[in-house]
Amino acid sequence: MRATAVVLASVIGAALASPSPAQIVLNPLQLSTPLSSCPANGPISCHNSSRIPDLCCFESPGGLLLQTQFWDTHPSTGPEDSWTIHGLWPDNCDTTFNENCDPSRAYTDIASLLTDNGATDTLNFMETYWVDMHGENEQFWEHEWSKHGTCMSTLNPQCLPSGSPDGFEAVLFFQTVVSLFQSLPTYTWLANEGITPSHDRTYTLSELLSALKRASGGIEPALDCKSGALNAVSWYFNVKGSIADGTFVPINAPKHGDCHSSSRIKYLPKTRH
């Protein structure tokens, strides 16, 4: 417990002290008017010592957020020089998940929901970077929203300003995920450490993790593999305030992904489309 608190404090301290490109504490949405009136000194998710009544300002129970990304090469998805978005998952602070929390808000036609609410830029970005392996982007977005987004307490419709359009909390979800992803350039961070896709080279798990930790400014993610090759990364956060306009505080992954620590790992190139 003490060790966790120290790590967290040093992460926050480092991020505040050095506004470097690697800084990944963020306020994802540049909103002209604040959405929520959450207190600036409220608790960080997963770190309350007493009951917090206002779940619009305290993400619970899913206060451990994973921004998950894919590196798909078979078939290849997305640009050759970028990982792609999988989603943003609320974990119950203990590596268990709640899922599909509100079937009544399992929205369809996410693309129209975004354009109807002025989030065309977000949609355009998603069409390149949040893509399904089989081209079923719309279904993929619907799935990520209904399975994970509907479990976020701070995105409950009652947390939004009165008069918000139906489904607006899902618009905020997609904008937040896109902004978080943009602050987590896994490809560039690896490339900055000399690690680029290759058919020949291989790496140990600890080489990959320490490269990402250095390049990100001190945060260690979790890495998943498929057939001995890098396939996914999870960047972990706690959040202060609302998912929609709170502050995401990066933390080290609380557990390893499934890449083996004892075998060499490939980072394969994507094939051209």
Ligand X SMILES: *[C@@H]1O[C@H](CO)[C@@H](O)[C@H](O)[C@H]1NC(C)=O
Q: Is 65 exposed, middle or buried (0-12, 13-18, 19+ CB in 10 A)?
A: buried
Of 84 and 153, nearer to ligand X (C-beta) is: 153
Under rule CB under 6 A, residue 273 binds ligand X: no
Under rule CB under 6 A, residue 2 binds ligand X: no
Of 46 and 170, nearer to ligand X (C-beta) is: 46
Stretch near ligand X under the rule CB under 6 A, chosen from 45-53, 188-196, 197-205, 216-224? 45-53
Q: 86, 142, 169, 220: which one is catalytic?
A: 86
86 is catalytic: yes
Here's the x/- map for ligand X, 107-136, by CB under 6 A: it reads as ------------------------------
CB of 48 to ligand X, least distance (A): 4
Among 32, 33, 41, 50, binds ligand X (CB under 6 A): 50
Length of the chain in terms of residues written:
273
Q: Find all residues with CB under 8 Å of 266, minimum gap 6, and list them.
A: 198, 201, 202, 228, 229, 230
Q: Find all residues with CB under 8 Å of 25, minimum gap 6, and list them.
A: 12, 15, 16, 247, 248, 249, 250
Sign of CA dihedral 19, 24, 26, 30: positive
Under rule CB under 6 A, residue 154 binds ligand X: no
Under rule CB under 6 A, residue 51 binds ligand X: yes
Stretch near ligand X under the rule CB under 6 A, chosen from 47-55, 94-102, 127-135, 171-179? 47-55
144 is catalytic: yes
- The DSSP-derived string for 87-132 is EEEEE-SSS-B-----GGG--S-HHHHHHHTT-HHHHHHHHHHS--
